[in-house]
Structure 1
Amino acid sequence: MKVHILHTGEVYIDQALAYKEQSLHPIPYSGWLRGKKKKMWVPVSAYLIEHPKGLILVDTGWNEDIRGNQKKHLGFLAHSMFKGRLPEGESVSEQLHALGIKVSDLDFVLLTHLHADHVSGLSRVKNAKKVLTSELEWEAASNRVGYIKSMWEGIHVDRYMLSDIPYGPFEKGHDLFGDGSVYLVHTPGHTDGIFCVLVKHQNGWLVLASDIGYAERSWKEMMLPGLTTNQDAAYQSLKWLRDFSERDDCYRVIANHDTTIKPGIIT
């Protein structure tokens, strides 16, 4: 099995979005009225898993449209909070093409949650055999602000209901192949239905942590993301991630926006 770490450009955010901070500012994570010293570029990651039972793409990164009219693609509100950068050749569809993989070859496109930097490129991989997210995340995206519904409009997205699994802060999630080799682990807090992907790798468990924490320092120092829908649940999810990272059978934990993580292949 191989796991490809793909960087699909970068996103320019306020540091308070990555690491929750106490401030007189009511919503520092928005970046509004905050200087450049508070801002940073972080990678937008996606992952391609070459599993014996199928090809899995985890998240979709930026759409090529981000190179043109960002304000139109993101909408005025989102564009006022963050901005994207996508060099030529770094979109998911471009990287799949470079690897000789057709979108129709993908057995699953997994959407860990439906924030823009995770689903922007969905239209480019909509012809995969199955696009999947959690029912809880789908409901949240349908009813809460902070989502850009045009990014999945007209695309069929399958949803899974939570079931009992042996891992996670609440031991809920989804066994993707039904054989215990890939779990979608319910780790709410940043959003209501966000999940991380737990892969049984030959070297031990590999955790693709999505935005439970923005970088390794998040769980090492127990620093929550700045944006949460349930702070208590976010803490439980981050604590589980920290504890799991210390297990002897945990090979590696990778956060989506960690600047220390470089593109490459885990074999």
Structure 2
Amino acid sequence: MSTIKINVLHTGEVCVSPYLPYGDGAGTLKAAGIGVKKEDRLWLPVSAYLIEHPKGLFLYDTGWDRSMSPDGVFDKKAQIKSLGSRLLYETNQGRVPAGQAVGEQLAAMGISPSDLDIVMISHLDCDHANGLPQVRGAKRIVVSADEMAFANGGPAMNRVRYQDIWWKDSGIETFDWNGEEGPFGKSYDVLGDGSLVMVNIRGHADGQCALKITGEDGRYVLLFADGGYSTRSWKEQIMPGICADPESMRKSLAWIRDMSEDPRCVESLANHDSDVVPHTIELRSD
């Protein structure tokens, strides 16, 4: 019997305008929180995923670094420094209670960064890549070449959106597509056996990847990062308030819906779904 375990971890929370996750047509300013009352903002979980696989230990996304909340509470000054941008802080704030940074949770499981075979980054936004210092020392850290190119170039707003201080000293590598899965026929088979496949779901970011984790019996778990903000996103096909490529985002959301409704799909999870609590999923092959 072969078992893959997916541990859903919450690495703190992010505070955003309600028009960011569900602001289809609301406009960039509202989605960025401009003119939105503090009391109307939403606190959403920031997830990372530890995958215990017969071929090793893998991590998908890293969440927030401890430097966002040095004392485990909201800390404006620390966050601006950790984010590297006052403007980015105005768009989203974070808090990381004691023990919730990904490195702390791994340590509580008896896992050190050097035990991680590959850390896979869905895309390079702050609440996915800011925690990379927590896993420095992992055997490999990877992100799509398309995402790295987008973070280093792309539209002018990327100069605020992406700050290379989160990853520049991490030893991160880029990968090129080696498969044709997904809405754009671009995927990366991490182990070469189809069990861990990074699937390009651009729209939110050019190089963003969902992770499809498949057991020997063909059942799978889909982790779709910011391809949507909850189950509601794909069920109702709700576009977020900010996306780099709206047409591609619609195509990615439709693909997420189709994959999520497939009877072989065990669970389909967005990174910031407030209805999801930390838990462990097992893909067993008897």
Q: TM-score, normalised to structure 2's length? A: 0.90
Aligned to 2:81: 72
- In 2, Cα distance between the equivalents of 1:158 and 1:70? 26
Identity %: 39
Q: Where do residues 232-243 of structure 1 align in structure 2 (5 Å cutoff)? A: 232-243=247-258
Q: Deviations over 1:208-229 (max 9, x none)?
A: 1100001000000001222211
Q: How many residues align?
A: 265
Aligned to 1:35: 37
SS of structure 2 residue aligned to 1:214: coil
Flag structure 2 segments of 5+ consecutive residues without an equivalent.
71-77
- In 1, Cα distance between the equivalents of 2:69 and 2:39? 24
Aligned to 1:10: 13
- In 2, Cα distance between the equivalents of 1:5 and 1:138? 25
Question: What is the aligned-residue RMSD (CA, Å)?
Answer: 1.3
Please state how far the C-alpha of 1:33 moved relative to its aligned partner: 1.4
Q: Tell me if the contact between 2:28 and 2:241 (Cα under 8 Å) persists in the aligned partners.
A: no
Aligned to 1:53: 55
Q: Tell me if the contact between 1:63 and 1:121 (Cα under 8 Å) persists in the aligned partners.
A: yes
The residue type paired with residue 32 of structure 2 is: S
Q: Tell me if the contact between 1:12 and 1:82 (Cα under 8 Å) persists in the aligned partners.
A: yes
SS of structure 1 residue aligned to 2:165: helix
Q: Tell me if the contact between 2:57 and 2:115 (Cα under 8 Å) persists in the aligned partners.
A: yes
SS of structure 2 residue aligned to 1:163: coil
Q: Tell me if the contact between 1:104 and 1:129 (Cα under 8 Å) persists in the aligned partners.
A: yes
Aligned to 2:92: 82
Please state how far the C-alpha of 1:15 moved relative to its aligned partner: 1.0
Aligned to 2:73: none
2:284 paired with 1:256? no
The residue type paired with residue 163 of structure 1 is: N
2:101 paired with 1:91? yes
The residue type paired with residue 110 of structure 1 is: M
Please state how far the C-alpha of 1:37 moved relative to its aligned partner: 4.8
Q: TM-score, normalised to structure 1's length? A: 0.96
SS of structure 1 residue aligned to 2:64: coil
